Amino acid sequence: MLRRQLVLKDEFKALNLIAGCDMAIDPENNWAYAGVIVYEWPSLREVERRAVKTKLTFPYIPGLLSFREAPALLRAISKLKSSPDLFIFDGQGTAHPRGIGIASHMGLWLDRPTIGCAKSRLIGRYKEPREKFGSYESLFSEEGKILGVVFRTRDSVRPVFISQGHKVSLRTSIDLIKKCCDGYRIPKPTREADHYVEAFKRKSRRDKK
């Protein structure tokens, strides 16, 4: 039902602020750490960052991780003073076994354009892209439908997997992720969000001691 509500074309006018979002999990204690960093576009100058720690309430079920992770992400985003025009998530959008991963779920809940930029593939088949930065190949379902792209973010490094979340086209998703690359494998918004939540997780553990 939710998948049918996704809008897979550009439905925004101007981009002034974008945000990178990520999660860290402490499975031993059942804690979730969620972080979001907002950047000016296209300079990628940081505007603000927010993080939260919250108990996980949904069990680990492969294919339904959005229901486990989204509450923490939504809490972090709700603490922002700014209002990002687009969000990038370290996870899948439409390139998901159910056709609706964390980026797509969050797009529906936030009613904002979202992109999934994942480090690994969940489903689909593809041909390895050329080694040069900016090269990409389509990610296909078994039925031949394009699910996203496999994108080279830096010369001769492992590619990432870009897919639409909500209210954005695949072409625009590729262009935006490319512009977020700054010499590392992971684009700046989600790379910095990853570092942020890991540091927040470590600090929270130290404070508890």
| Digit-coded pLDDT (tens) for 129-170 | 999 999 999 999 999 999 999 999 999 999 999 999 999 999
CATH of the domain at 66: 3.30.2170.10
Specify the DSSP element, H or E, that contains 166: strand 160-166
So what's the pLDDT on residue 182? 97
Domain-located, residue 142: no
Question: pLDDT > 70: what percent of the chain?
Answer: 99
Domain-located, residue 43: yes
Domain-located, residue 24: yes
Question: pLDDT > 90: what percent of the chain?
Answer: 87
Domain-located, residue 160: no
Domain-located, residue 136: no
State which residues form the domain around 60.
3-121+165-200
| Digit-coded pLDDT (tens) for 66-92 | 888 999 999 999 999 999 999 999 999
Domain-located, residue 15: yes
**Cβ 58 vs Cβ 74: under 8 Å:** no
So what's the pLDDT on residue 208? 66
What is the number of domains present in the chain?
1
Please state, rounded to an integer, the average pLDDT across all residues of the chain.
95
With bands split at pLDDT 50, 70 and 90, how would you rate the model's confidence at 64? Answer: confident
Residue 63, exposed/middle/buried by CB under 10 A (0-12, 13-18, 19+)? Answer: exposed
With bands split at pLDDT 50, 70 and 90, how would you rate the model's confidence at 28? Answer: confident
Burial state string for 89-124 with b = 16 or more CB within 10 A and e = fewer than 16: bbbbbbbbebbbbbbbbbbbbbebbbbbbbeebbbb
Domain-located, residue 138: no
Domain-located, residue 106: yes
